[in-house]
Amino acid sequence: MTVDDLGFSSRAIHAGQEPDPTTGAVVPPIHQVSTYKQDGVGGLRGGYEYSRSANPTRTALEECIASLEGGERAFAFASGLAGEDTVLRALLAPGDHVVVPSDAYGGTYRLFNRVLKPWGVEHSIARVADVESVRAALRPETRMVWVETPTNPLLGIADIAAIAEVAHAAGALLVVDNTFASPYLQNPIALGADVVVHSTTKYAGGHSDVVGGAVVVAAGAMTPRGESVVERVAFHQNSMGAVAGPFDAWLVLRGLKTLAVRMERHCDNAEVVVDFLQGHPGVTAVHYPGLPDHPNHEVASRQMKRFGGMVAFRVKGGEDVAAKVCAETRLFTLGESLGGVESLIEHPARMTHASVAGTELEVPADLIRLSVGIEDAADLVADLRQALDRLT
Ligand SMILES: *Cc1c(COP(=O)(O)O)cnc(C)c1O
């Protein structure tokens, strides 16, 4: 039996993490080191020569994430955006075209629009919840389709398998940002994606104490130019150097061990919060893929194990009321980011998505986004109730 035959929770705890051969330590040590003694010139012990190229703590994390996502190889980065940038520069060249989602993490869109575009990589925006919109956005130069699902902040759902077919028929790669679902709830590679990216800052790390990213490549994935995606990403990870440091890699590895139990509780609590919000007179809309009236609920049910811990809703009274609700909760902390054990609340239009104001990705001004944590659900509901009862 190899570790890849084990269930998800067993792999999260053991993949890439044999007890330390010299001491028997059951947790991989933090190899806080830049260089390694060689036994004669070129005589590397275990392949390590310099920690930008490889570091044992980072290797443990990379092997664990590759196993959890069902990929051939994973690569760990200093942030989610560093991983995204590396993928884009490894797989695209000036003159190429990318289809990007109309509802996406603002920083991802900023990378396409303000960093990649001046270097000659063009993009078009598609509504990824609608496969036909993706197909219509394709051009002869399209080399990549980028999808985020569920989307941030509106919790839209893209049909990964259907979009993989459309992308591949056009000779393009499909990249899926799986940050919101986490590998516990959804495995895009099994549905046809070529590359998965994560901000491990979020659910993978899970404790709001580290910034990191990961890129996972499907077995045998080739670029439209006929090169190995694993080799391209590996070369660029080392050449560009935005790697995860050993302590950060260790924190994410530690977070992953409890991912399954945390995600179950995030989902349980989100369901209770959604139920409360739907019954509150001050709430005009609730966005959650687990709701039967969500436009792509059926797709979400097919490709996700459960529906996650992210919830968005709109309030009566517009932007000012939304901003006040965010300022008046106590247990829900007002802050950016998501996926930690503690609940967070934020106002996307003025916070996480301020960078897309005035673009096609602009979000509704009366929208509030919740990252539902793993506290007691009754306390979370009571907190939202006191804020909404007073303000809406
Ligand atoms: C946070 C986030 C990112 C960016 O990751 P960083 O670790 O902040 O660089 C990318 N995609 C999604 C969906 C995110 O939530």
Domain with 352 in it: what CATH number?
Answer: 3.90.1150.10
Q: Residue 336's pLDDT band (boundaries 50, 70, 90)?
A: very high
Whether residue 105 sits in one domain with residue 237: yes
Whether residue 270 sits in one domain with residue 197: no
Whether residue 271 sits in one domain with residue 297: yes
- Given the CA of residue 211, which atom of ligand 1 is nearest to it? 7
Paired with 124 in beta bridges are: 99
Residues 6+ apart with CB under 8 A from 13: 257
For residues 313 and 282, give the distance between their C-alpha atoms in angstroms, rounded to a whole number: 10
Whether residue 185 sits in one domain with residue 334: no
Mean pLDDT of 132-142: 98
Q: 178-203: per-residue pLDDT in tens?
A: 999 999 999 999 999 999 999 999 99
For residues 216 and 62, give the distance between their C-alpha atoms in angstroms, rounded to a whole number: 9
Amino acid at 97: H
Check if 257 is active-site.
Answer: no
Mean pLDDT of 155-180: 98
Residue 73, pLDDT above cutoff 80: yes
For residues 231 and 187, give the distance between their C-alpha atoms in angstroms, rounded to a whole number: 22
The response to whether residue 177 sits with its C-beta less than 6 Å from ligand 1 reads yes
Whether the pTM exceeds 0.85: the reply is yes
Which of 257, 272, 293 is the C-terminal boundary of a domain? 257
Mean pLDDT of 334-361: 90
Q: Residue 2's pLDDT band (boundaries 50, 70, 90)?
A: confident
The response to whether residue 79 sits with its C-beta less than 6 Å from ligand 1 reads yes
CATH number at residue 173: 3.40.640.10
149 contacts 162 by C-beta, under 8 angstroms: no
The response to whether residue 86 sits with its C-beta less than 6 Å from ligand 1 reads no
Whether residue 267 sits in one domain with residue 253: no
Q: What's the CA dihedral at 96, 97, 103, 105 to 10 degrees?
A: 10
Q: 119-129: per-residue pLDDT in tens?
A: 999 999 999 89
Q: 223-239: per-residue pLDDT in tens?
A: 988 999 999 999 999 99
384 contacts 276 by C-beta, under 8 angstroms: yes
Check if 96 is active-site.
Answer: no
Whether residue 276 sits in one domain with residue 375: yes
In angstroms, the Cα distances linking 41 to 29, 37, 47, 387 are: 26, 10, 13, 66
234 contacts 244 by C-beta, under 8 angstroms: no
Mean pLDDT of 137-159: 96
Distance 53 CA to ligand 1 centre (A): 24
Residue with CA at minimum distance from ligand 1 atom 7: 80
Check if 52 is active-site.
Answer: yes
Q: Residue 1's pLDDT band (boundaries 50, 70, 90)?
A: confident
Which of 257, 275, 292 is the C-terminal boundary of a domain? 257
Whether residue 173 sits in one domain with residue 304: no
31 contacts 57 by C-beta, under 8 angstroms: yes
Q: 286-300: per-residue pLDDT in tens?
A: 999 999 999 999 999
The response to whether residue 199 sits with its C-beta less than 6 Å from ligand 1 reads yes
Paired with 313 in beta bridges are: 286, 368
Active site residue: 36, 52, 305, 350, which one?
A: 52
Active site residue: 103, 177, 194, 366, which one?
A: 177
Number of domains in the chain: 2
Report which of 194, 100, 114 is spatially closest to residue 151, judged by C-alpha positions.
Answer: 100
Q: Residue 103's pLDDT band (boundaries 50, 70, 90)?
A: confident
pLDDT of res. 104: 83
Whether residue 299 sits in one domain with residue 163: no
Whether residue 242 sits in one domain with residue 271: no
- Given the CA of residue 108, which atom of ligand 1 is nearest to it? 10
Whether residue 186 sits in one domain with residue 80: yes
Distance 246 CA to ligand 1 centre (A): 20
Whether residue 12 sits in one domain with residue 122: yes
Q: Which contiguous run of DSSP H or E holds residue 264?
A: helix 259-278
- Of the chain, the percentage scoring pLDDT greater than 90 comes to 92
Mean pLDDT of 4-24: 95
- Given the CA of residue 213, which atom of ligand 1 is nearest to it? 7
Whether residue 386 sits in one domain with residue 346: yes
Q: 307-334: per-residue pLDDT in tens?
A: 999 999 999 999 999 999 999 999 999 9
**DSSP string for residues in 2-58:** -GGGS-HHHHHHHTT-PPPTTT--SS------SB---SSTT--STT-SBTTT--HHH
Which of 236, 257, 278 is the C-terminal boundary of a domain? 257
Of the chain, the end-to-end C-alpha distance in Å amounts to 57
pLDDT of res. 379: 98
pLDDT of res. 105: 87
Supply the range of the domain harboring residue 163: 3-257
Check if 37 is active-site.
Answer: no
Paired with 147 in beta bridges are: 176
Residue 355, pLDDT above cutoff 80: no
